[in-house]
């Protein structure tokens, strides 16, 4: 065998094993394929959570009962999160008086989150919580822990749509209007 051929064979076998392991993991997670996992929460009553905001005040999801709630799990270091956040700010400003409430649940340190929201002028609540925030993300259907992850909840408290990965402003706005 030529030198280096073994390296290519080894790399190919390792890639194949990683692919198989990844697919098995996806099938194992709740027995639902990754593409369907987030949508499994649709038509389910929204899970409860209580997390501190950036001022340290505990906020409970029940305080937004009766509103169209957009719950966004994000982190300041996440490029798709950075991309979609300005549209969330715009949509909150546009529809807030009609009963729409965005709530960010950030998976990072308080200072990094504060710096990010201050830079963008985010005025809707952003909550922190480390492991509790990660659990809330899972509870809302984010079984793979992807960021960003967004759930839209109707006025009755039922999840009507989830988005794994970034969501466009137009898609989210259509979902908001549909639930006003």
pLDDT tens digit sequence for 114-127: 999 999 999 999 99
pLDDT at position 5 over 60: no
What's the per-residue H, E or C state across the chain? CCCCHHHHHHHHHHHHHHHHHHHHHHHHCCCCCCCCCHHHHCCCECCCCEEEECCCCEEEHHHHCCCEEEEEEECCCCHHHHHHHHHHHHHHHHHHHHCEEEEEEECCCHHHHHHHHHHHCCCCCEECCCHHHHHHHHHCCCCCCCCCEEEEECCCCEEEEEEECCCCHHHHHHHHHHCC
**What is the pLDDT, as a whole number, of residue 10?**
47
pLDDT at position 170 over 60: yes
Q: Where are the domains of the chain?
A: 1-31, 38-178
**What is the pLDDT, as a whole number, of residue 25?**
40
**95 vs 27, more confident:** 95
Q: Which CATH architecture has domain 38-178?
A: 3-Layer(aba) Sandwich (3.40)
């Amino acid at each position: 065998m030529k030198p280096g051929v073994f390296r290519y064979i080894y790399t190919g076998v390792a890639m194949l094993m990683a692919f198989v392991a990844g697919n098995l993991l996806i099938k194992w997670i709740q027995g639902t394929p990754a593409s369907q996992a987030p949508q499994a929460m649709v038509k389910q009553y929204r899970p409860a959570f209580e997390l501190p905001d950036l001022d340290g005040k505990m906020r409970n999801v029940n305080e937004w009962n009766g509103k169209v709630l957009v719950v966004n799990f994000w982190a300041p270091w996440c490029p798709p999160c950075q991309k979609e956040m300005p549209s969330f700010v715009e949509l909150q400003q546009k529809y807030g008086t009609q009963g729409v409430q965005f709530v960010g649940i950030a998976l990072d340190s308080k200072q990094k989150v504060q710096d990010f929201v201050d830079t963008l002028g985010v005025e809707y609540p952003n909550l922190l919580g480390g492991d509790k925030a990660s659990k809330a993300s899972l509870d809302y259907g984010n079984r793979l822990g992807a960021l960003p992850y967004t759930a839209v909840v109707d006025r009755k408290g039922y999840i009507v749509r989830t988005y794994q990965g970034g969501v466009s402003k137009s898609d989210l706005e259509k979902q908001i209007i549909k639930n006003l």
